[in-house]
Amino acid sequence: MFSEVSAPQEGSCSLLLCRPGSEDQEPSVFDRVKPAYSPCSERFKLGERSFNRQYAHIYATRLMQMSPLLTERAQQKWGADVRIRKLCDLQMGEQCCIVGTLFKHMELQPSILKEISEEHNLLPQPPRTRYISESDELILEDELQRIKLEGNIDVDKFVTGSVIAIYGAEKNDGKFTVDDFCTADLPPQAPRTTLSSDRFVLLLSGLGLGGSHADSMLALQLLVDMVTGHLGDQGEQSGASTISRVLLAGNLLSQSTQDKDASTKAKYLTKKTQAGTVDAMRLLDEMLMQLVSSVPVDVMPGQYDPTNYTLPQQPLHHCMFPLSSSYPTLQLASNPHQATLDGVRILGTSGQNVKDIQKYSSMDSHLEILENTLRLRHLAPTAPDTLGCYPFYLKDPFILEECPHVYFSGNAPSYQAKRITGAEGQEVLLVAIPEFSSTQTACLVNLRTLECEPIRFSSFSAGDDEESEMNISH
Amino acid sequence: MSVENTPSLSVCLSAMTAKRAALITDSYKVVKRSRREEKREKRAPSPPQKDTEPRPLTAREIELQELRQFDQDWRYGPCTGISRLQRWERAAQHGLNPPQEIRDMLLSADTDPDYTHCLWSDYPL
């Protein structure tokens, strides 16, 4: 655990309180560990971007890629002689297995056609937190047909776009009665190399720079000082040297920098005002320069960052980081991001996929949704239905082909971590990284033991009467 | 059936009206009757025309027809918005075994838009 590594040693307080050393005394230097890093997110980088395509291609390739996996799982679960039928070959009353993409028909889902239809005379629906209702229905689609599902299946737990296999029979009224279902489950995992010493990765998200309240700025500075080794005595500094990498998972800028008023106000009012993002990016660049001069950093964009809206979000452009881009340790990454650190495979997103699933299902906990996406073997099943996505046609890059060792999503409301094991012995650490601007908490993942612990930087706000104190609690 | 009924009706009408005054409808009636007779005459010979052989398709037309069949094959996914070669590559990548002849046809005529673009390429999106 990180807290053990950086625990104050005996007699170390005297080091901070003793006289400054003489000129010829060598200051103790701690070298930071350098892990073998290789980014593997080539599949998320877009070359030419052509939007002249329909989104049907993504669904077709998703089904093409997942059907063989699902037929194998179905045979494992229900016996090798289970009948796997296409929807057009279904016979009444026959117990069989069908494979297809789920579509959830929701009454409350905002539909652009209903909004612009003049005969309904509807005002645009105000955004809700959740779009599920009692009357939702699940429909399974394969290449040619679709059929309504009912029976032993929990409608609230599924979202549109998940590919699953269903076991049951078609009854008289043209609906398919579900007896059981199965998902593609975890993909195969490459074994990770055992490390000899503790190595940590710091996961951080939701910095919220440029926001109206700057409560977390002090906490952020504390974090930067701790990681770069400017805090504490020798124990803390040697502990900080075991942090081999920092990963910023999205929402580096606050939501308030997305100023929509500029587009609606008159030009003469907004001509001289600068966009909120300019100052915020400068703050980010200065903070990153402090970090990058000491530790390699991966920067992933998030929902409110200046990059494209559709997934996969492209890396932030290096011209926005004039101070920090000259350092080779700055790695501007895409969202979702995948990398291998010392044989440990890390994969994750900035949280847009999880938040979207949360809106269209009854699941509340980010960690539960994260586990669900892993079991469905798809990073963002709701793309492109409700989550913006690029119209891929060749392959669906969000399908997990190899199981990661660490799977994270950023901007969760609170810190959560769990270790799960797959059917074939895969071990995954799931981490829901909390938003730093509201919780001042970051996560430290130990690459040797695959454990995660939160690290919280708290400081009292200016509203207190007492003198402000700072403490770092593990 | 109505065609057979109305001449008798118009005949009765004209008989009634001719006694009073000469109307314009008298002249129309004659024209109509002749047209109807022409139509009846034309209908008889139309079936035998279909027995004649359709002209044989050229090699290019046969190839285009095969490519159109490839476009409409449901196993390889949607065909709009991407070129036929891209669709063939995608099918090959996913192990669906598309016929090699289609690929050869597409590679031999890669500058001809009738070959490379799909059936619906003239329509937007």
Residue A54 near chain B (CB below 8 Å): yes
- CB neighbours of residue A129 within 10 Å: 6
| A310: closest CA of chain B, how far (Å) | 19
Q: Do A57 and B93 touch (CB under 8 A)?
A: no
| Candidate from A52, A61, A64 with C-beta closest to B125 | A52
Mutate to test the interface with B, among A53, A57, A67 (most CBs of B within 10 A): A57
What pLDDT is attached to residue A464? 43
Task: Read off the tokens for A146.
Answer: 């679709």
- Which pair of tokens denotes residue A52? 């002249």
**With contacts defined as CB-CB under 8 Å, which chain A residues touch B93?**
394-395
| Contact between chains at B74 and A144 (C-beta distance less than 8 A) | yes
Structure tokens at A418: 């769990």
Give residue-wise pLDDT tens across range A157-173. Answer: 999 999 999 999 998 78
- CA dist A313 and A300 (Å) reads 9
| Separation CA A448–CA A196 (nearest Å) | 7
Indicate the pLDDT class of residue A8, thresholds 50, 70 and 90: low
Query: How many Å lie between the alpha carbon of A45 and the closest alpha carbon of chain B?
Result: 19
CB B82 to CB A393 under 8 A?
A: yes
The single residue listed with the structure tokens 């350092």 is A327
Q: What is the mean pLDDT of residues B101-123?
A: 83
Helix-strand-coil percent breakdown of chain B, rounded to 5?
Answer: 65, 0, 35
pLDDT in tens, B35-91: 555 555 555 555 655 555 677 778 888 888 888 889 888 888 888 888 888 899 999
- First-last CA distance in chain B: 48
Query: Chain A partners of B77 at a C-beta cutoff of 8 Å?
Result: 56-57, 60-61, 64, 143
Q: Which residues of B touch A391 (CB under 8 A)?
A: 81
The neighbour count for residue A178, using CB atoms within 10 Å, is: 18
A25-29, A38-42, A59-63, A141-145: which range is least confident on average? A25-29
B60 inside 8 A of chain A by CB: no
pLDDT at A393 over 70: yes
Cβ separation A143–B125 shorter than 8 A? no
Rounded average pLDDT over A287-301: 92
Q: What are phi and psi of B16, to 5 degrees?
A: -70, -40
Contact A57 B81 (CB under 8 A): yes
- pLDDT tens string A443-470: 999 998 889 999 998 876 554 443 333 4
**What's the pLDDT band for A471 if we cut at 50, 70, 90?**
very low
CA A436 – CA A459 distance, rounded (Å) = 13
Three-state helix/strand/coil letters over B37-75: HHHHHHHCCHHHHCCCCCCCCCHHHHHHHHHHHHHHCHH
- Give the phi and the psi of residue A433 in degrees, each rounded to 5: -75, 125
Alpha-carbon distance B2 to A14, whole Å?
A: 117
Assess whether pLDDT exceeds 70 at residue A13.
no
For residue range A215-272, list pLDDT tens digits in order: 788 889 999 999 998 887 777 888 888 898 999 998 888 887 776 666 667 777 767 7
Is the per-residue pLDDT at A27 higher than 80? Answer: no
Contacting residues of A for B95, CB less than 8 Å apart: 68
Window B:11-50, CB contacts with A under 8 Å: none
Interface contact B78-A143, CB threshold 8 A: no
Residue B81 and residue A54: Cβ atoms within 8 Å? yes
A65 lies within 8 A of chain B by CB:
yes
Judged by CB atoms closer than 8 Å, whether chains meet at B125 and A65 is answered as no
- Contact at 8 Å (CB) between A458 and A468? no
List, for residues A180-192, the tens digit of each pLDDT value.
Answer: 999 998 999 988 8
- Rounded Cα gap, residues A50 and A43, in angstroms: 16
- Chain A residue closest in CA terms to B81: A53
pLDDT of residue A285 exceeding 90, the answer is yes
User: Which tokens in the block code for residue B63?
Assistant: 């190839």
Task: Say whether residue A144 is in contact with chain B using an 8 A CB cutoff.
Answer: yes
- ipTM for the complex? 0.80
